[in-house]
Chain A
Amino acid sequence: MRDVETRPRRYERLIILALLLASLPLILGFFLLVLSSFSTEMVTNLDPRSFHPTLENWINLFQGKIATTGGIRVNIWRITLNTLIVALGVAGVVTGISALAGYSLSRIDFRGRKTMMVLLLVLHAFPGVALIVGVYLLYRLTFPQNYEVVGLYSFAYVILARAALEIPMSIWLMKGFFDTIPWEFEWSGIIDGASRITVWRRIMLPLIKPGILAVALFAFLAGWQDIIYVRTFLVYPTLATFIEANIEAEYSHMPLIAAAGTFYLLPTIIFFITAQQLLLQGYSGGIKG
């Protein structure tokens, strides 16, 4: 419910204008980045003379030519694929685990259930930085001797370690979705003699599809945007580490990095357009700020 029917109209424009002013740096910053990706030089100082429209940056980016001279090349598709693997992996692990645990916390009464839920909240508040030193030691101690599996190992490890950070809040989120399903649906299944596992799989999962989608979306974005874990654990570059490394590199052509940044932003923009309601409702959990 909102304040609409009886509200005087005269202040509305004022509020909208004030909001626009407050949002200006945000709009300007992102706009200039996207604009620069279509220009021969960076357009950051609001000087229209520095904007010369071109598609060259995008073409060079997709061909992997990151410098105008010297022939330094990267395979941007490979880098994108790495980023995608991490993001999809995190989304898969988080969604699976929270769909399982969320169900039992919502529906099954057992000893230690309350403690477990409190513990999950505390875990979410637990400083990630306090863990990363230990997580890295575990990584080193379990590092494979066989060079062929190093790549696979580092992918698996970064996915699991990053997913672990998202799990506490995702379980809470998922539990909330299970809570909204009327008990009667499940009851009928159990009367017919189905086990809890069957009921979960056959009745509950189809009912909470929106919840699964929401949790998967947030986990995907968390994995997609991550920089700390991928640069610490992954032996391959991702879009984040690519941008990080190229800001200070002598040879990099900055409008091309702007194009890489815009390219990296694409999933965010897609979700912005397609999943607005989902984002507005569900973004309160899961991510620290």
Chain B
Amino acid sequence: MTKGKLRDLSFFLSPMVLMVFLFYLVPLVMTIYISMTRMRNWNVDRYLTEFVGLYNYERLFHMFQHDPTFKAVVMTTLVFVGITLVINVFGGLALALATFFINERPASSYRLLWLLPRMSPIAVYSLVWYYFFHGSEIGTLNSILMSLGLISEPIPWGQVTPWGAWSVIIFVNGLVGVSFGMIVFTSALNQIPKELVIAARVDGASSWQISRRILIPMIKWHLLYVLTWQFLSLLTTYPHLFLLVQWDLVNRDYGTTLALYVFNTAFGMGEQDQGLAAAAAVILSIIGILGGFVTLKVLKFEKMMKKPRGDF
């Protein structure tokens, strides 16, 4: 490498390298370290050096076996990730296909509308659903069902465990994730040669047949991409759940996934236990990193990376 190239590269890359070092690498090491200390209530002076080895991991394992609250969290994580993933992928696919078969004007309005959950501030988005699913008669859903005569008493949706709470968190997060699939699938569909669809139409194929026989097989790679990507996202995101639990809209135990559990254990109200939170975070990261590498291998991302043209 010549001196000039080295200078150029450090000019272009050093801010990024610095950020990655400061906000990914150092925190990761620190999290692993905290997971092996008795850190609580952020009492850094007292607990930072109190090394306890794998004690926090043993506690997690013990809780997994015996603590009903923690069991609820693990169950919630599994159900939440599983069902929301299906909704995200197939909801996104349904939206992309539906807007593919209609005129451009209504199609792009709908696509924009479905970006709203992702674009709006989390606090406002949560506020909307807070009133929608509110457990008393002021809740929109309750009042609709009551005026239709389907129920006579308001139902406290989020407090009905486990499925009431699960339905609310899956619904609220499902809407956020759907737009990701929608956008990816829409751009994939638009790259399919027009002639294929027209030829099928001329042969008398219906929209359903076109979707099933032509469009979906051609966007298989994108399906796989959205599936794995959303899996990782769902496993680790929690901001949308945070307020729903904080505001008591959903049951605390059955509205908390492992990612939210980590956050609330480290920063929540009452006694904070960063050692335990860090241990859970490390376990989540291991799953995430493994998932990330499997994704890369399965999707063959490396093949997509070409050498820059004409560099010397």
Binding site for B on A (CB under 8 A): 1-7, 11-12, 15-16, 18-19, 23, 25-30, 32-33, 42, 44-47, 96-98, 100-101, 103-104, 106-111, 114, 116-118, 121-123, 125-138, 140-141, 160-161, 163-165, 167, 171, 183, 187, 195-197, 200, 221, 224-228, 232, 239-241, 243-244, 247-248, 257-258, 261-262, 264-265, 268, 271-272, 276, 279-281, 283-284, 287-289
Contacts and interface: CB of A to CB of B under 8 A. Distances in A.
A265 B121 contact: yes
B151 interface: no
B150 interface: no
B110 interface: yes
B257 to A, nearest CB: 10
B289 A122 contact: yes
Contacts of B309: 183
A45 B133 CA distance: 11
A126 B66 CA distance: 29
Interface in B163-214: 173, 175-177, 179-180, 183-184, 186-187, 190, 192-194, 197-198, 201-202, 207, 210
19 contacts: A18-B98, A32-B140, A33-B131, A44-B132, A45-B142, A96-B15, A104-B13, A122-B296, A123-B24, A125-B233, A129-B236, A129-B284, A225-B122, A268-B116, A280-B186, A281-B187, A284-B183, A289-B177, A289-B237
Best-buried of B111, B230, B237, B284 by chain A (most CB within 10 Å): B237
Contacts of A23: 110, 113-114
Interface stretch (B28-36, B57-65, B67-75): B28-36
Given A100-B11, A109-B307, A163-B19, A130 B121 contact: no
A128 B285 contact: no
Interface in B276-312: 277-278, 281-282, 284-285, 288-289, 291-293, 295-296, 301-302, 305, 307-311
Contact of B197 (A3, A200, A279): A3
A1 B194 contact: yes
Given A123-B20, A125-B291, A284-B187, A1 B121 contact: no
B254 interface: no
Given A226-B122, A232-B267, A268-B119, A133 B281 contact: yes
A134 B98 contact: no
Best-buried of B22, B107, B281 by chain A (most CB within 10 Å): B281
A27 B120 CA distance: 13
A289 B118 contact: yes
B100 interface: yes
Given A12-B101, A247-B130, A272-B119, A125 B308 contact: no
B112 interface: yes
Contact of A121 (B99, B137, B143, B296): B296
Contact of A135 (B23, B116, B117, B229): B23
A122 to B, nearest CB: 4
A45 B119 contact: no
Name the 3 nearest CB pairs between A and B, nearest first: A134-B27, A127-B236, A164-B23
Contact of A271 (B119, B193, B307): B119
B211 to A, nearest CB: 10
A26 B187 CA distance: 24
Contacts of A140: 42, 44
A232 B268 CA distance: 10
Given A117-B305, A121-B301, A289-B180, A240 B27 contact: no
Given A19-B110, A117-B305, A195-B8, A134 B247 contact: no
Contacts of B46: none
A91 B301 CA distance: 28
A43 to B, nearest CB: 9
Interface string B2-30: 00110011011101100110111011111
Contacts of A248: 247-248
A288 B29 CA distance: 23
A281 B34 CA distance: 41
